Structure 1
Amino acid sequence: MTLPDPHLDPHLLRTLAPLLAAESDAEAPAAGVEAGDLEQAVWLRLLERLQDDEAPSRPADWLRRAVRAEARRARRAALRERPYRAEEAGEPHDSPESTALTSERRRAVRAAVRRTPGHCPRLLTAMLDPADHTYREIAGELGISQGSLGPMRSRCLGCLRRMLASEVPAATPRGRVRETDRWTR
């Protein structure tokens, strides 16, 4: 790939790498993400800009702003994420009906995981494994870098979410299923 701006040569990119690592290390703990994931997201933003012929005029300043923006995005995403409900976390079920519904939901998720594109089925299967592997173990198993797992996981979960949107009824703001949806599950 030829860089569109003569000021952004490979040497400059190599010199920006330590700055990006330091900024990511500083912002990652507050954002609740790994520094490597933050770094990779910023590199991706930079490559997208370069592809669109929008090279930053002051790369170091742009890089600092981009790290902070990605950290804010990660914090906002963490606020929207909800923990597993008790029935999905392996808690005992009260009735055969809830056991059957839980099993059906799991089957629907597993079937959707198998239909996802690219590396997503292997990644999501590894993430859903009851053994609860670490990112390092999953990266080794899949043969990809550990820093790639976060962005790849995000893309795969987005794809899975879109696939399941038509199969699983949406919950109301308090997590309850609407009365009209009870019979469609």
Structure 2
Amino acid sequence: MTAMNTEDGIADFQRRAELLKLARSGDRVAMKSLVDDLGPLLWRVARYQGLSIDAAADVVQTAWMKLVKHWESIEEPQAVTAWLTTTVRRDAQRIRTAARRESTIDPVEFPDPPSPLTDSVDEQLIRKQEHRAVRRVLARTGSPCRELLAYISAAERPDYDVIAQSLGMKKGSIGPTRGRCLARLRRDLQKEPDWGHGEER
């Protein structure tokens, strides 16, 4: 990843963050600019999940509606790209899974009920505490690690083409950068009181 590519990627995140701030204040031109900027990327994410043209269009439109509804909850405006792509990807996966289920389950038969949850209250609490620790560490992590880890953690099969385009990175540099970012994340997590609860990991 060249310095120019990195700078371009960071500049894109900063520009989109400013557009989000303006859109929050009621600037329709800023909102349109944000849609024009990220629309093609979101479309590609939806189509990559195997959706039809119509389904992809619906998912992308719904993502924008969700953004307007929840944008005050986005604490870091720089995260708007990851927020939108994650929303599109999850909704697309949900639709694809539902369509697959409808095509494979006989309408007169019902699948076995899911197994009951076996996690204890303590285990659930530990997971929540560790999740908060991860969020705190990521909030302190600079670009491009924060955005890269957000993309990768949100997808079962990360699309490196989409990540490269969005972050301004070379596709071949994503893997090595991911390794360095994860190593740094692990080191920082060891310093968090909610991570591991004093046990060696």
| TM-score (norm. length: structure 2) | 0.36
- Bigger relative contact order (CA 8 A; separation at least 6): 2
From the CA coordinates, give the structure whose radius of gyration is larger: 1
TM-score (normalised: structure 1): 0.39
Which protein has the bigger helix share? 2
